[in-house]
Amino acid sequence: MLRALAHPLRQRIMWELAARGHARAADLAAVTGAPANSLSFHLRTLAKAGLVQESPEHARDGRDRVWQMTHPEGLDLPSVEGGPGVDPLMAERLDWLRGVLDESIPRDPKATRTIYLGAVMLTKDESRTMAEEVVEVFDRWRELGVREVAAHPDGPERVFHFTAAFVGNPRPGDAVRDVEVHDLGGSVAGGPDENGSIAT
């Protein structure tokens, strides 16, 4: 799975499918600028890895190939220290985050960019509940976007927004004891060049 996601264009495909619900290679070519035949190859590669699948209910006929994420609720990516593809994925995510924070990624006048940094004292159960509620809010708006893109595919005012949420501890320099990590899903890997929102 990680090897399939190591290519930046495949990461972009996954993000676009997450935001749009389903798409053809030609649709993805229009938004990424990559050739449709190249996107078809990368979609087949993602399909072999079990990450995307055909969506015949959205096809016009038997020759029309429409794709969607196999798990639209999100991916639970394995944590494999030093495994193939891990470093490129982490580098892509960090580059996007750094670009948003230092404003090196240009703002899109049609998009909103919001950064929230905070701190809160919670129990483990409370912090997990908070994180789950944040994910639910993101998912509700993602599903609205999927519906609206399907209803109005050429709407010029609807643009890609990348969203991310980080909840956790410890603070830098704190000792770590019995750390348990929970992945709430809803993530793919890396991220495209568009603007977005960070809640952390």
As a whole number of angstroms, the distance between CA 196 and CA 54 comes to 28
Q: How far apart, in whole angstroms, are the C-alpha atoms of residue 68 and residue 70?
A: 6
Predicted confidence at residue 140, as pLDDT, reads 93
Q: What is the pLDDT of residue 40?
A: 95
Q: Give 197's contacts (C-beta < 8 A, 6+ positions apart).
A: 112, 113, 114, 115, 161, 162, 163, 164
- For the chain, domains (ranges, CATH) are 2-78+91-199 (1.10.10.10)
pLDDT, tens only, 24-82: 999 999 999 999 999 999 999 999 999 999 999 989 888 899 999 998 766 655 555 55
What pLDDT digit, counting tens, does each position of 93-147 carry?
Answer: 788 888 988 889 898 999 998 888 888 999 999 999 999 999 999 999 999 999 9
Q: At residue 9, what is the residue type?
A: L
Burial class (CB in 10 A: 0-12, 13-18, 19+), 117: exposed
Instruction: Please tell me the predicted confidence (pLDDT) of residue 116.
Output: 85
Residue 8: how many CB atoms within 10 A of its CB? 15
Whether residue 195 has pLDDT greater than 50: no
pLDDT interval class at 153 (50, 70, 90):
confident
8: three-class secondary structure by DSSP? helix
Q: Within its chain, how far is the Cα of 124 from the centroid?
A: 26
